Amino acid sequence: MEIEGVPCTSCSLLCDDIVVDVRDNTVTRVLGTCSHGTKRFKELVGARPMKAAIAEQGGLKEVSVDEALEKAAEILKVAKKPLIYGGANSTNRTVELLVKLAQKLRGLYDSSASICHALLDLDPSFLGARLDDILEDADFILYWGADPAETHLRHASRYAVFPRGRSTPMGRESRIVAVVDVRETNTMRIAQHKVLLRPGSDAELARALRDLMFSKTPTVGEAAGVTLRDLSSIIKDLKPATYVAMFIGRGLLQSEKPEEALSSMAELARSLLELGKKVSIMPMAEYVNSMGQALITKKLGGAPRALDFSALKEHMSPEATATCQLEREGVDAALIVKSEVSEELTPLAVKALMRIPTIVLEERATWTFSNGKVSVPLSIMGVESGGTVTRMDGVEVKLKPFLKPPASVADEEVFLERLSSSL
């Protein structure tokens, strides 16, 4: 059976033009995906964990999903302050359930660090653009600290660079592309401007570009490690542009002062607006639902970041992060949903996590899954289970599952609803 218009859940671009051929509950052919998407559709089912388990003194004991749920509830009931962690790889409903669970248990809610968290604090006048607007009208594309040729493979071909749009009738020929990074990247191959800046000098570069837009020449022959000649060449192309679309990637979070860099970039965007251009700033959301996780957390908790519900009044503080609380032994149990903590938390925080009872819900065979006190395998989102997720530009996408999951795995939303009502 051929199924059309299937959204791919391998990255936050959520391409919804995929065609899948299914025979005997097996994917036989996938059309339209990039290599990352094909891998998810074709290989994940065969490589996923199949059985729920509880770690006991003698080793792992395989259990049913119901038994795992009972044990998970037992752990969370006695915890004084549990950590509820995840959401960036889950559905919007799951994010909502996780935040509400943390609230109910007076625990801490957090998820993997994301550029979406930082960008949602910016002036809303730069946010809110849609990828389809960019396809139609953007004639200057600026990738900053982002390398979609590695992370979001169809970003340039489907939306930002190659397609022909209303104001860009020649497609690639109608657009200028600039890529800013601290190292040479694959995306630079399609750029007219390859900007290799000195690490940690993003703010300096944004200020220099703004000054040059207003004809203020720097007193020295370079800024942020970029020559005045190269900067002037960017400005020459930026001046006639009518719509500047900025895509900010995770690289910016790794700069020394990300807040200062972002505010200088917002200043640059404001200056371009004053000159009559249309400007948008969009995060290259790292995980499939990083944007949904950030938006829902902001809606329910007031800010798109970690929320500490054990505090009576203020539940946002710099110390209210999973890493900080684990390192200080401030949490005594954890529920981790579809997050590889060995990649997202510090080694010290991971060590602390291994000392407390941990419930892990996962669709992939990860290190975190194999180290949970209670491990629950999940149906694969967008393949075996449905729901709604949010694309990097804020558009909600309804998933279209096409395989029947095995009876031994759980649906993330159903499991969390049941867990919450048993507490």
Question: Interface residues with ligand SF4 (CB under 6 A)?
Answer: 8, 10-11, 13-15, 33-34, 36-37, 152-154
Nearer Cβ to ligand SF4, position 107 or 382? 382
Residue number with CB closer to ligand SF4 (112 or 358)? 112
For ligand SF4, give the closer residue by CB, 19 or 275.
19
Distance CA 37, CA 175 (A): 27
**Beta strand pairing call for 388-390 and 396-398:** antiparallel
Smallest separation (angstroms) from ligand SF4 to the CB of 125:
28
Smallest separation, CB 34 to ligand SF4 (Å): 3
Q: Which is nearer to ligand SF4, 9 or 375 (CB)?
A: 9
How many C-beta neighbours within 10 Å does residue 418 have?
Answer: 16
Edge-to-edge strands of the sheet including 358-362? 59-63, 52-56, 374-377, 358-362, 333-337, 82-86, 108-110, 307-308
Nearer to ligand SF4, 197 or 248 (CB): 248
Give the shortest CB-153-to-ligand SF4 separation in angstroms: 5
Give the burial class of 183: count Cβ atoms within 10 A of its Cβ; 0-12 exposed, 13-18 middle, 19 or more buried.
Answer: exposed
Based on CB atoms, which residue is closest to ligand SF4, 62 or 396?
Answer: 396
- For residue 224, give the nearest of 272, 180, 269 by alpha carbon: 180
Strand partners, 179: 143, 194
Quote the CA–CA distance of 235 and 210 in Å, as a whole number: 9
* 305 close to 293: Cβ distance less than 8 angstroms: no
- Which residues have C-beta within 8 Å of that of residue 264, sequence separation ≥ 6? 202, 203, 204, 206, 207, 210
Spatial separation of the C-alpha atoms in residues 200 and 157, rounded to whole Å: 30
Would you say 109 or 159 has its CB closer to ligand SF4? Answer: 159
Residue (33 or 297) nearer to ligand SF4, CB: 33
- 315 vs 391 by CB, closer to ligand SF4: 391
Distance CA 312, CA 330 (A): 16
Minimum Å distance from CB 6 to ligand SF4? 10
Report how far residue 189's alpha carbon sits from residue 70's, in angstroms, rounded to the nearest whole number. Answer: 53
Contact 12, 285 (CB under 8 A): yes
Rounded to whole angstroms, the Cα distance separating 29 from 48 reads 19
Burial (Cβ within 10 Å: 0-12, 13-18, ≥19) of residue 313: exposed
Amino acid at 165: G
Q: Give me the helices (H) in 138-227, please.
A: 148-151, 202-213
Judge contact between 334 and 353, C-beta under 8 A. yes
217 CB neighbour count, 10 Å cutoff: 12
Least separation, in Å, of the C-beta of 242 and ligand SF4? Answer: 27
Taking the C-alpha atoms of residue 286 and residue 153, their distance in angstroms, rounded to an integer, is 13
- Return the number of the residue (15 or 359) whose C-beta is nearest ligand SF4: 15
Q: Which is nearer to ligand SF4, 152 or 277 (CB)?
A: 152
At 52, list the tokens. Answer: 């729920």
Dihedral, CA of residue 249, residue 88, residue 93 and residue 336, to nearest 10: -160
